Homo-oligomer: A and B are copies of this chain.
Amino acid sequence: MKQPASTPSTENQPLRLPARGRNRPQAVAETIKDWIIENGLAPGDRLPQEHQLIAHLGVSKGTVREALRVLETQGLIRTRTGPGGGAFITELGADHASALLANHFFFKEISIAHIYELRIALEPQLVFDLAPHITEEQIDELRRRMSVYTAPPASIEEERQQRVAELEFHEALAGFSDNPLLGFTCGFLVRLLKDLTVCKRIYGQPNPELRERGLSYQEQLISALRAGDADEARAIMQAHMRAAQRIMLAQEAQVTKAFLTIGDR
């Protein structure tokens, strides 16, 4: 088992070759990833244990651990200690994925206008698709979220909470989408706005207009969704987005570099 390390030549290729050339941990992570794909592992399945990976891959404990950390950062696995523990395949959740993606925009200059340009293009389409499929339970959830801001806010803090709740209304809507790409993108945009809200870099002063118009729009939207009227839902959302954009832009400041902390489990 012990190797006298005096074999400097290319070693004894233990099963799958560890793909030398780059940094080992990344290469090992890739190898494990390929192995996951080939064996068709699904979320919940367990990877081989550390010492087995060490043996099969022909690398040391530290390298394997770094590789697992890479996969964990990518959201592919989670590890648990104790008997029966180990690394388990997991699904990369939308929030974690958003956090990873947000890093890409960290050094870019993102404005409210940029975000709303996409929301205007996508959210009307989102509700258009949703109208024929939406369930009663989903509508109930939307109503439940709306209930947070039916009454005017009493304090500046409550104002902020209501804004967050309204954004979460849209986040829930995005989560209902049948199109994972559309749903994720809309959710990501909302999360960007929500993060800005939490950071209090915007929504400085009360804005009753935004709240009331939003509430009215959402009532109409839910009616249209319940009726299964896709065209009407799209039209309402379009008007809602345009109105919100106008209000937001009026009090916008250039917003940058607040994104790195998004999510950050």
Contacts and interface: CB of A to CB of B under 8 A. Distances in A.
A65 interface: yes
Given A70-B73, A260-B33, A264-B30, A103 B97 contact: yes
Copies assembled: 2
A31 B255 CA distance: 23
A75 B100 CA distance: 9
B66 A107 contact: no
A95 B19 CA distance: 22
Interface in A13-43: 25, 30, 33, 36-37, 42-43
Contacts of A109: 180
Interface stretch (A49-57, A113-121, A146-154): A113-121
A185 interface: yes
Interface residues of A, number: 51
A244 interface: no
A181 B97 contact: no
A94 B107 CA distance: 12
A65 to B, nearest CB: 6
Contacts of A37: 257, 260-261
B65 A118 contact: no
Given A33-B260, A106-B92, A125 B121 contact: yes
B117 A182 contact: yes
B101 A101 contact: yes
B118 A185 contact: yes
The 10 A-B residue pairs with the shortest CB-CB distance in the complex, in nearest-first order: A97-B104, A73-B73, A108-B180, A92-B104, A114-B179, A100-B100, A66-B69, A121-B121, A70-B73, A92-B103
5 contacts: A76-B103, A94-B104, A100-B100, A101-B101, A118-B122
